[in-house]
Amino acid sequence: MKLFLKKYLKLKLKIQYYDYLYYTLNSSIISDYKYDQLCMMLKKLEKENKFEEKLKYTNYNFKKNNFSYLPEIEHKTPMLSLLSGSSIKDFLKYDKMLKKRFFIFNDIEYFCDLKIDGLAISLIYHNGILSHAVTRGNGYSGENVTINIMTISNIPIVLSSPEIPKILDVRGEIYIKKKDFLLLNKISSLHKKKNFSNPRNIASGSLRQKDPEIARKRKLQFIAYSCNFFNSSLNLEKHDKNLFLLKKWGFSICKIFSICKTIHDVIQFYQMVTKIRLDLNYEIDGIVIKVNSKILQKKIGYVEKAPKWAYALKFFSHSVETKVIGIHFSIGRTGLITPIAFLKPVFISGVLIKKVTLYNKKKILELKLHIGDIVKVYRAGDVIPKIEKVLLKKRSITVQKIIFPYYCNICHTKIIYLEQEGLMYCPAGFFCQAQNEKRLLHFVSKNGLYMPGLGLKIIKKLLKKGCVKTPDDFYKLNIQSFEKISGIGIILTKKILNSINSSKIVMLNKFIYALGIFLVGKVVSKNLANFFGSVRNFLNSNYTILCQIEGIGHNIATSIILFLKSKENLKIIYFLKKKLCISSFFSNSFYMKDFSKIWIYQKKFVLSGKFLTMSKEKICTIIEKYGGIVKSYISKNINFLIIGLKYGQKFKQAKSLKITILSEKEFFNNLLKKNVI
């Protein structure tokens, strides 16, 4: 078995290298014939060793995308951030909240380790062999950085142990040692190049290099902090047991950790770490406290962007006194109104601080803050400025009470208050000027409809000329619309119109997210898309149905209903629904749909070449979603070959077998014509 693995891995790496040269660097050092021969050999090895279809490298849809110009890979489970606080008091509050909410009457056992200041990475192993490495990205998909990850000496490429799960997802942090960071900056200075601002930037910059030699020279390191198993009978009850398994399999784990039976143990660990922090040979910005029991973790669950069973207790910086000179209510993209306190400027750890966010009404009431108060300000986690407390003893008689607004100061719509959460928001959406610009930008952003080329500058100009007011207007733009706008030539106009056109095929979750409904983030959008399966079902929902969906409670349901109640919003959505091809994954949809009448259904497709509209992986996902089957090789059973730029041998093979060949444009035009939503 070991001999096979060595042979397999060597061959796979060789092919990956040629793929990398071809797809990333646009160069080839091997003939097509030799390349095909290598692929055949790999295929034979996979067959002889009975690889499952989906585990075969020669079958992966992302195989070529690994090295394409859009190398994005979806995470098996989202890569989340952490709930955090920067004082022991914050952590005690968190612990109390867990116990109260989940009826826990004893001390919770916590696993504590160090919060490494680096770059989160997910390493995917198939049958114990490193298959790919993906950055956190937007949390749902990230960049494929396998080629650079392979240069990191303490990341094992082959794991040898009898109980390795079929699919293993190891999560951890890539970082650089302090001494290597200093050395790199010295070398940069010698070469009169700009210095790196912090070790995390180096880690992230290195992984994005096209030449892996650069990453190798930067001596990156890896520490694993968690893992997930798929298709495995392994079922460990505690987080620490998982980590020890990882250690056994050859991963480095944090050497400084503690299994804390009580909150006092946690506090002791935190205090110990604050003392040794500067002596460590890598940067940390706090400790991470995780509920050790996996069963309890499951029960506690998640909030929108973070697990509720983990908490980052960050280091706090010293605080400085200053005066609050005014309050401004800033309106965000979703209408959320955030109070900002303006301060008499002060330096804290070398940075001039002029304002601090107060988050919500509740926070102001908790602080008992007035305009004119003297406050203590610190930088949480050494970064974000926060007000620690109001120095009531120093309060003068001239202070003024903070008046919370009743109406939006921009569009004059009545503000909605969520009293329990202390949140306030303007529900006018696209019709509030303060939100509109940001909402339109959000709509066209990568996580929304994705229209590269359309940035804030152009949106501002389009708004000013009245060409765009709401998102449906993007689809009404033509060459003439841009003629009115200064600084946009015909080339850019065509690029923008092209990208607007390409955005017409969109996943339902992205569409919902792009609408920018208050409290509806990526996770909620995904849950809504999975549940409803189509725009029509989503529009027909009601409060009771919404509340049945995972992660949706009173506030989110109310916000969605308010949004859908607006005639103006509905007009926009109906227009978009007509213009776009909005699709969704139906695996666990509440409303299953019959796809048998769609031309793609049960047809076999092969793709060849580079695609411009979206990555090959995404096209495959669309085909599979409509019941089509994607294959890697041409045979007489194939129905369609879709070709992009630089297509290969498959074109000739398909022609000789009289298989229908579709260009990228033809495929998408067909898809749009047969709009299934």
- The residues that are catalytic are 115
Mapping DSSP onto H, E and C, the string for 502-544 reads HCCEEEHHHHHHHCCCCCCCHHHHHHHHHHHCCHHHHHCCCHH
Footprint on residues 504-563 left by ligand IVH (CB under 6 A): none
Shortest spacing between CB 375 and ligand IVH, in angstroms:
26
Strand extents, DSSP E, 403-492: 416-418, 423-425
CA distance 73 to 134: 7
Return the residue of 9, 11, 13, 82 that touches ligand IVH, per CB under 6 A.
82
List 549's β-bridge partners, or say none.
none
Establish if 173 lies at the interface with ligand IVH (CB under 6 A): yes
Window contacting ligand IVH (CB under 6 A); options: 35-43, 147-155, 307-315, 464-472: 307-315
Residue whose entry in the numeric block shows the structure tokens 């990191």: 152
Both tokens assigned to 562: 């308010």
Establish if 312 lies at the interface with ligand IVH (CB under 6 A): yes
Return the residue of 39, 73, 80, 341 that touches ligand IVH, per CB under 6 A.
80
Question: 579: buried, middle or exposed (CB in 10 Å: 19+, 13-18, 0-12)?
Answer: middle
Both tokens assigned to 257: 């950790």
Residue whose entry in the numeric block shows the structure tokens 């942090």: 173
Window contacting ligand IVH (CB under 6 A); options: 78-86, 371-379, 428-436, 599-607: 78-86
Establish if 203 lies at the interface with ligand IVH (CB under 6 A): no
204 vs 338 by CB, closer to ligand IVH:
204
> What Å distances lie between residue 166 and 28, 157, 235, 345, CA to CA?
33, 15, 13, 56
Q: Phi and psi dihedrals of 529, rounded to 5?
A: -65, -45
x/- mask, ligand IVH, residues 88-127, rule CB under 6 A, reads -------------------------xxxx---x-------
Q: Phi and psi dihedrals of 273, rounded to 5?
A: -65, -40
447 vs 501 by CB, closer to ligand IVH:
447
x/- mask, ligand IVH, residues 367-386, rule CB under 6 A, reads --------------------
Shortest spacing between CB 306 and ligand IVH, in angstroms:
6
Shortest spacing between CB 285 and ligand IVH, in angstroms:
8
Shortest spacing between CB 284 and ligand IVH, in angstroms:
8
Establish if 573 lies at the interface with ligand IVH (CB under 6 A): no
Residue nearest to ligand IVH (CB): 120
x/- mask, ligand IVH, residues 241-280, rule CB under 6 A, reads -------------x--------------------------
CA distance 577 to 540: 14
Contact 161, 248 (CB under 8 A): yes
289 vs 432 by CB, closer to ligand IVH:
289
Window contacting ligand IVH (CB under 6 A); options: 77-85, 514-522, 543-551, 571-579: 77-85
Contacts 24+ apart (CB under 8 A), 388-392: 388/319, 391/321, 392/368
- Footprint of ligand IVH on this chain (CB under 6 A)? 80-82, 113-116, 120, 173, 225-226, 254, 288, 307, 310, 312
